[in-house]
Structure 1
Amino acid sequence: MGTTTTGQVTLLATGGTIASRTDSTAGATVAADAGSAVLASAGLSDIAVEVVDLMQKGSYLLTFDDMLAVRRAIQAALASTTTLGVVVTHGTDTMEETAYLVDLLHDDPRPVVFTGAQNAADSTDPDGPSNLRAAIALAVSPDARGRGALIVFDGEVHTVPGTRKTQTTRLRAFGNPDRGAVGSVSTAGVTALEPAPARPAPLGTPPSGASTRVDIVACYPGADAALFSAALAAGARGIVLEATGLGNANAELCEAVRKAVRDGVVVVTSTRVHAGPVRGVYGAGGGRTLEDAGAIPSGLLRPSQARTLLHALLALELPPEDIAHHVLRRGRLTGDPSGPP
């Protein structure tokens, strides 16, 4: 990785596959290694790293408050002027959500880099050590400054908006179908990055423990409004529709959306489709009807990140018109080449 760097990287360990081993009693893979063991596996000697064991969980177990705890730990690490950047080792299942929340709130030019692993630490071919080496190299790179949060996996660097887990087992686990990778880190730790795009101003930090419920409801052939209504009955203040195509549903769901919006619930329309924007084009229960009913199209944000954004905005108690502004703007900034959604 080159010469010794002045300053240090803070490694926030949260568990995940990179820290997991097989429990011989249960026969299941669980997070087991402390951050010091994860770091030791990378075999670094020329960069100072301070390890903070934040939690030890598979990321499928995380809550919104856990994600906020990662944000607070990042802030604490960056309170030191000698911190060059922060690396977060994290499970891959919900990395796209935690990293996106951090990106939404990040107000410091120093980079925050998320990484993890597809193969457990005790596998015959663990990929965690190489991913961690790349993440640390990226965290100390001057070119990574001013980019918010980043994800590095299998040598590829991604900005977080629009990035998601695209493979369940392959080592190149993450992708951004609309934008692609923004750079790379070589096995020698050499970083190459595209010019940094403009970033919107960060959001304020939502309070912990807020009782904000935001659900995702899927659309499919023959879907009725039963699950949508159940989410409302459970107290949802926001709902993300995982719609079809450009963001389409049906007449029954559109009418349910209309009533919910009238009652003060914020509804965002995303899509189950791999790539491309959400746009109100079709009527008779399609995306145009949903927009007329008050639903907000998510642009290029897929349900996982659209829900994270909506949860944060509702927890900040912003009015619906401000929420709509943020969703529309941030959905565009994920790189839709054909213009606004």
Structure 2
Amino acid sequence: MGVALFTLGGTISMAGRTHGGESVRRLNGADLTAAVPDLARLGMTLDIHDIDAVPSANLTFTHVLDLVDCASHAVKAGARGVVVTQGTDTLEETAFLADLVWPHTEPFVLTGAMRNPTLAGPDGPANLLAATRTAASPASHGLGALVVFNDEIHAARWVRKTHSTSTAAFASPNTGPIGHVIEGHARVLTTPARHRTSYPRPEALDTTRVGLHTVTLDDDADIVAAVAEKSHGLVIAGFGVGHVPSELADLLGTLAERMPVVLTSRTGSGSVLRHTYGSVGSEADLQRRGLINGGLLDPYKARILLRLMLAGGADREAVIAAFADHG
């Protein structure tokens, strides 16, 4: 068997407006693969699964976990790897969520497009071809979920969408890509460590709420309290290496007594520190108050990990251990 292709929609499948202009016509998997003639020369079959078209902004944890289950069945049936096409807006988050629970050595590769097929120079066909080559390559085994864009191979743990329109929108600021597709072959240059986590309880997932607050100049403690009021966990995207205004420190310490509060950086790259600064509101002070260090995880991925852990029934010590592994 070849590679299993799952299509979710997104820019890669937008084929212009329907008659009357009221909706966007969607390309299915057969349409997408027909636009990539080199796929036929790869010497493998593509098992196409068209999933309900969902704008990536509307994807949920349940959507992604259901997709992982379907992809897992395809691998158990003999697929060498999985390719998923989706919109790019939340791709970095869906990739990380899939990576946390993907149980197979066969790769789970996500891709999409920044230019739709009606524009000059659409990037979808090239990205789909590169993703398929990566999914079929033995070099990709054991790497979990990967994002392939612009002939670069990125680990789900580190990849970010860093530009709103560029065809080179995806990057891994802390590490760079872990490989490239070169002359039709996936070349993996480094193998990142993977740390899977517990699968959430389905009945708990929808009721587990994790808030995210990005700290800003002259921030308002009442807003933080409002975000936390109905949350079971909270992620704080702090300044720089993990700082907040001193006026927020007491509140965050109080919140950390009743739920996990994870400290991350809003900068987009780099780590939260542990013991360099000691003033009120610094990373060392906040950790003394019970906040959990998010390490190198960005706020969006930290929220995914925390919600998954809490929905899986993890206690505080398990949450701390998970962030020590992933961050």
Q: How does 1:245-284 map to 2 (within 5 A)?
A: 245-263=240-258, 265-280=259-274, 281-282=276-277, 283-284=279-280
Aligned residue in 1 for 2:80: 84
Aligned residue in 2 for 1:98: 94
Distance 1:207 1:26 in 2: 44
Q: Determine if the alignment matches structure 1 residue 69 to structure 2 residue 69.
A: no
8 Å CA contact retained: 2:109, 2:145? yes
* Bigger proportion of residues as helix: 2
Report the 3-state secondary structure (helix = DSSP H, G, I; strand = E; otherwise coil) of the residue aligned with 2:303. Answer: helix
Q: Determine if the alignment matches structure 1 residue 215 to structure 2 residue 211.
A: yes
Distance 1:31 1:114 in 2: 22
CA deviations over 1:105-135 (Å, ceiling 9, x no partner): 1121111111100011222221000000000
Stretches of structure 2 lacking an aligned partner (at least 5 in a row): none
Aligned residue in 1 for 2:115: 119
Is the alpha carbon distance of 1:315 and 1:50 closer, same or farther for their aligned partners in structure 2, counting shifts above 3 Å? Answer: same
Output the aligned Cα RMSD.
Answer: 1.8
8 Å CA contact retained: 2:83, 2:135? yes
Give how far 1:23 is off.
Answer: 2.5
Give how far 1:74 is off.
Answer: 1.7
Q: Which moved more, 1:120-129 or 1:85-94?
A: 120-129
> Which one-letter code corresponds to 2:264 in the other structure?
S
TM-score normalised according to structure 2 size: 0.93
Q: Determine if the alignment matches structure 1 residue 193 to structure 2 residue 184.
A: no
Distance 1:26 1:269 in 2: 49
Q: Determine if the alignment matches structure 1 residue 232 to structure 2 residue 228.
A: yes
Q: Which moved more, 1:109-118 or 1:56-65?
A: 56-65
Report the 3-state secondary structure (helix = DSSP H, G, I; strand = E; otherwise coil) of the residue aligned with 1:217. Answer: strand
Is the alpha carbon distance of 1:131 and 1:226 closer, same or farther for their aligned partners in structure 2, counting shifts above 3 Å? Answer: same
Stretches of structure 1 lacking an aligned partner (at least 5 in a row): 1-6, 332-341
Give how far 1:29 is off.
Answer: 8.2
Give how far 1:94 is off.
Answer: 0.7
Aligned residue in 1 for 2:154: 158
Aligned residue-pair number: 320
Distance 2:313 2:211 in 1: 17
Is the alpha carbon distance of 1:21 and 1:256 closer, same or farther for their aligned partners in structure 2, counting shifts above 3 Å? Answer: farther
8 Å CA contact retained: 1:20, 1:29? no
Q: Determine if the alignment matches structure 1 residue 148 to structure 2 residue 173.
A: no
Distance 1:28 1:17 in 2: 17
Instruction: Select which of 16, 35, 42 maps to 2:36.
Output: 42
> Which one-letter code corresponds to 2:160 in the other structure?
R
